[in-house]
Structure 1
Amino acid sequence: MFENLQDKLDRAFKVLKGQGSITEINVAETMKEIRKALLDADVNYKTAKAFTDDVKEKALGQNVLTSISPGQLLTKVMNDELTQLMGGTVQDLNLTTNPTIILIAGLNGAGKTTFTGKLANFLKTQKGKKPLLIACDVYRPAAIDQLQILGGQVGIPVFTDADSKDPVSIAKAGIAEAKKNGNNVVIIDTAGRLAIDEQMMNEIADVKAATNPHEILFVVDAMTGQDAVNTAKAFNDRLDFTGVVLTKLDGDTRGGAALSIKSVVNKPIKFIGTGEKMEALDVFYPDRMASRILGMGDVVSLVERAQQQFDEKEAAEIQKKIRKNKFDFNDFISQIQQIKKMGNMKDLMGMIPGVGKAIKDIDIDDNAFKPIESIIRSMTPYERENPDSINQSRRTRIANGSGTNITEVNKLIKQFEDMRKMMKQFSNPAAAAKMMRGMPKMPFGK
Structure 2
Amino acid sequence: MAFEGLTQRLQDTMAKLRRKPKVTEADLNETMRDIRLALLEADVNFKVVKDFVKQVRTRAAGAEVLKGLNPAQQIVKIVNEELTKMMGEEAVDLNKSEKIPTIIMMAGLQGAGKTTTAGKLALKLKNDQNARPMFIAADIYRPAAIDQLEQVAESIDVPVFQLGTDVDPVEIVRQGLEQARDQHNDYVIIDTAGRLQIDEKLMDELANIKKLADPDEILLVVDAMTGQNAVETAQGFNDKLDITGVVLTKLDGDTRGGAALSIRAVTGKPIKFVGQGEKMDDLDVFHPDRMASRILGMGDMLTLIEKAQKDFDEEQAQKTVEKMRENSFDFNDFLDQMSQVQKMGSMEDIMKMIPGMANNPALKNANIDPKDMEHIKAIVYSMTPEERENPDVLNPSRRRRLAAGAGRPVVEVNRMIKQFNQMKKMMKQVSNGNMSGMENLMGGNMPGGGSKLSGLAMKRMSRQMKKNKKKRMKKNKKRR
- Scaled by the length of structure 1, the TM-score of the pair is 0.83
State the secondary structure of the residue aligned to 2:64. coil
Alignment deviations for residues 378-421 of structure 1 (CA, whole Å, 9 cap, x no partner):
779x6798577999999899877766567666765675566567
Q: How many residues align?
A: 435
State the secondary structure of the residue aligned to 2:65. coil
Structure-2 residue corresponding to 1:271: 273
The residue type equivalent to 2:282 in the other structure is: A
Alpha-carbon spacing, 1:57–1:425, altered in 2? closer, same or farther (3 Å): closer
Alpha-carbon spacing, 1:331–1:277, altered in 2? closer, same or farther (3 Å): farther
- Scaled by the length of structure 2, the TM-score of the pair is 0.78
Structure-2 residue corresponding to 1:41: 42
Alpha-carbon spacing, 1:400–1:40, altered in 2? closer, same or farther (3 Å): same
Q: Quick check: 1:218–1:245 contact (8 Å CA) kept in 2?
A: yes
Q: Which runs of 5+ in 1 are unaligned?
A: 437-441
State the secondary structure of the residue aligned to 2:177. helix
Q: Which runs of 5+ in 2 are unaligned?
A: 438-442, 450-480
Q: Quick check: 2:429–2:435 contact (8 Å CA) kept in 1?
A: no
Instruction: Measure the CA separation in 1 of the matches of 2:328 and 2:77.
Output: 47
Alpha-carbon spacing, 1:209–1:59, altered in 2? closer, same or farther (3 Å): same
Q: Quick check: 1:15–1:29 contact (8 Å CA) kept in 2?
A: no
Structure-1 residue corresponding to 2:5: 4
State the secondary structure of the residue aligned to 1:356. coil
The residue type equivalent to 1:135 in the other structure is: A
Determine which of 249, 252, 257 is the counterpart of 2:251.
249
Instruction: Measure the CA separation in 2 of the matches of 1:365 and 1:263.
Output: 37
Identity %: 52
Q: Quick check: 1:297–1:350 contact (8 Å CA) kept in 2?
A: yes
Pair 1:86-2:87 in alignment: yes
Structure-2 residue corresponding to 1:439: none
Alpha-carbon spacing, 1:406–1:271, altered in 2? closer, same or farther (3 Å): same
Determine which of 185, 191, 196 is the counterpart of 2:198.
196
State the secondary structure of the residue aligned to 1:107. coil
Instruction: Measure the CA separation in 1 of the matches of 2:13 and 2:328.
Output: 52
Greater CA drift, 59-68 or 213-222: 59-68
State the secondary structure of the residue aligned to 1:188. strand
Structure-1 residue corresponding to 2:159: 157
The residue type equivalent to 1:69 in the other structure is: N
Structure-1 residue corresponding to 2:70: 69
The residue type equivalent to 1:71 in the other structure is: A
Alpha-carbon spacing, 1:15–1:332, altered in 2? closer, same or farther (3 Å): closer
**Larger relative helix fraction:** 2
Q: CA deviation at 1:89?
A: 1.9
Greater CA drift, 56-65 or 11-20: 11-20
Q: CA deviation at 1:70?
A: 2.8
Alpha-carbon spacing, 1:402–1:55, altered in 2? closer, same or farther (3 Å): same
State the secondary structure of the residue aligned to 1:295. coil
Structure-2 residue corresponding to 1:311: 313
Greater CA drift, 97-106 or 186-195: 186-195
**Where does 1:157-176 land on structure 2 (aligned, <5 Å)?**
157-162=159-164, 164-176=166-178
Determine which of 365, 368, 373 is the counterpart of 2:369.
365
The residue type equivalent to 1:103 in the other structure is: M
Determine which of 219, 231, 236 is the counterpart of 2:238.
236
- RMSD in angstroms over aligned alpha carbons? 3.6
The residue type equivalent to 1:93 in the other structure is: L
Pair 1:346-2:348 in alignment: yes
State the secondary structure of the residue aligned to 1:129. coil
Q: CA deviation at 1:322?
A: 5.5
Q: CA deviation at 1:188?
A: 1.6
Alignment deviations for residues 340-373 of structure 1 (CA, whole Å, 9 cap, x no partner):
2222332222112232233446543344433344
Q: Quick check: 1:131–1:184 contact (8 Å CA) kept in 2?
A: yes
Instruction: Measure the CA separation in 2 of the matches of 1:29 and 1:370.
Output: 46
State the secondary structure of the residue aligned to 1:63. helix
Alignment deviations for residues 32-76 of structure 1 (CA, whole Å, 9 cap, x no partner):
222222111111111111111111111123503777433222211
